[in-house]
A and B are shown apart, each in its own frame.
Chain A
């Protein structure tokens, strides 16, 4: 079916490498989101799949058919642009019927299909308007509709929600997910918004500087990041990172002044032992895996409250520890003020250790 296999894809623009050796398989009917910061090569990947960009190396296969050298028209994929790229001189109906006209369908069939999709997207009242007369959300739906009328098996989406305002974006996230289920189509979706990725994707592929970092389910990407980059990119506020080292007694010693030490279990220690690399490491812990307490217990680290950011549903407390700032996610009713001295404790089950030079995860 509409599985997509990208094999060792490389693309250079002049001397800068936009993509290097990207290999990625998207299963049939899968919602795969390519996530990464601006300039990571996400859009380039998508454009290579669509045929708008010629890769320097690598192959792209769809349904077992090699499409690397085909023109965009021959690939039969649908593309939703970030700018929607609705044809400004055509009405909504004409925008949606345009891809069907290329396929030489009969007028009645075109009308039937356009009307059906328009109803599904609740834009059937807008068919005679021009794109300029539509709101951003309506334009977005028309762009989706134009992609859907062709009944493609593969949808390519380039940050389709970025230009929408916040509430609409949240709404459309759920709707896109529902549509993807309903159409049972393969979605290859690009975004730099990790919330979009986490909430919609079956699997997330994380790209940075043209190199694929990790491909996994949202849960695994969050809980078992492959490296420092993924750990830092996914999650808000981002994971706290502190320098650490592992001593001979299987203890992780965090911070310059032996801030915190934790003894590793045997299995964890074996993992560490297997890891080849420099002795320097980075300790990572998510803000929600740090606990704050007013009662000073002996095994707690004393730290000073630097800033308190109440966000309504939760509160972020920045703790100052020497020159380091550690962000902690606490319940909204937690009371703290700048300058307070609090006890801080790391969850000994939910931390990570990364190799400092390669960035790879050790634990």
Chain B
């Protein structure tokens, strides 16, 4: 067979597969985005419509209603019973809780990982396994103990409680990821810095952390996604003060008529911060994830 032809066929095949994969992953997102700008009638129409302006007239009502808290009389006469005006508060809570817990998990986990990577610790592999083992339990199993614990410690319906919880959930992941990265960073860098006249902490801050930033960014993205999406504990622990978006999304499905348009609008807004964060650190992300996989 002609090499050129084979190569052309290969390339076409490549793009076809890529197209299918792209469609497979992106279509749900597109559907949500499109639904968020439909009127109530369009969104529940039996004939699906995909393209704004040609197939349906787009509207921003869903966004204004959930962001400004204005209640729009729906055309069926049924009022959405879930309180739409709390969305903004919920979103703020989600940002604060996911942000702080990610920050804490990455800082604490990075320091722990550095220590495990650089110093001789008795039973190091057992310790690392213990840290990992905290992730092996399905979270739902500890739901009731955590609920009782938080009730007794007065941590329910508060920022510190849920932030602490998410930090704890993400720490093992951060420790494991970062230890892998630190193992890859030659010890000589710090040793050179210490000989050059710096303390170990200065050496870490000036030399090791700049090296670890891609890894920290990658780890932060994954931690943030976990904290951002968490539903079960958020639903149970923070019902009023410090309540996050995921349980709220669920609640507007469950009560009365489903407000698909607003649900879609809320979902789009909810997805945006993670998309933006991932986009900002995308350059670090690939390096972070493939760190150690490629010989430098």
Q: Which residues of A contact B (CB under 8 A)?
A: 50-52, 71-73, 75-79, 81, 83, 85, 87-89, 98-99, 102-103, 146, 150
Contact = CB atoms under 8 A, between A and B. Distances in A.
Interface in B84-143: none
Given A73-B199, A103-B197, A146-B192, 7 more contacts: A51-B195, A52-B194, A78-B195, A81-B192, A83-B188, A87-B192, A88-B189
Given A85-B186, A88-B211, A89-B210, A79 B198 contact: no
Contact of B194 (A72, A78, A146, A150): A72
A89 to B, nearest CB: 5
Interface in B173-228: 186, 188-189, 191-199, 202, 207, 210-211
Chain B contact surface mostly: helix
Contact of A89 (B191, B202, B211): B211
A102 B196 contact: yes
B211 A71 contact: no
10 contacts: A71-B199, A79-B192, A81-B188, A83-B188, A87-B192, A88-B211, A98-B196, A99-B197, A102-B198, A146-B196
Interface string B25-65: 00000000000000000000000000000000000000000
Contacts of B199: 71, 73
A269 to B, nearest CB: 53
Contact of A83 (B186, B197, B210): B186
Chain A contact surface mostly: loop
A170 to B, nearest CB: 25
Contacts of A51: 194-195
Contacts of B186: 83, 85
A85 B189 contact: yes
A90 to B, nearest CB: 9
Contacts of A73: 194-199
Contacts of A50: 191, 195
A89 B196 CA distance: 16
A85 B197 contact: no
A51 B193 CA distance: 12
B195 A72 contact: yes
B33 to A, nearest CB: 39
A146 B207 CA distance: 15
Contacts of A99: 196-197
A89 B208 CA distance: 10
Residue from B186, B192, B202, B207 with most neighbouring chain A CB atoms (10 Å): B192
A74 to B, nearest CB: 9
Contacts of A77: 195
Contacts of B207: 87
Nearest to A152: B195
Nearest to A85: B188
A69 B288 CA distance: 38
Nearest to A53: B191
A352 B211 CA distance: 55
Contacts of B202: 102
Nearest to A83: B188
Nearest to B207: A87
Nearest to B185: A88
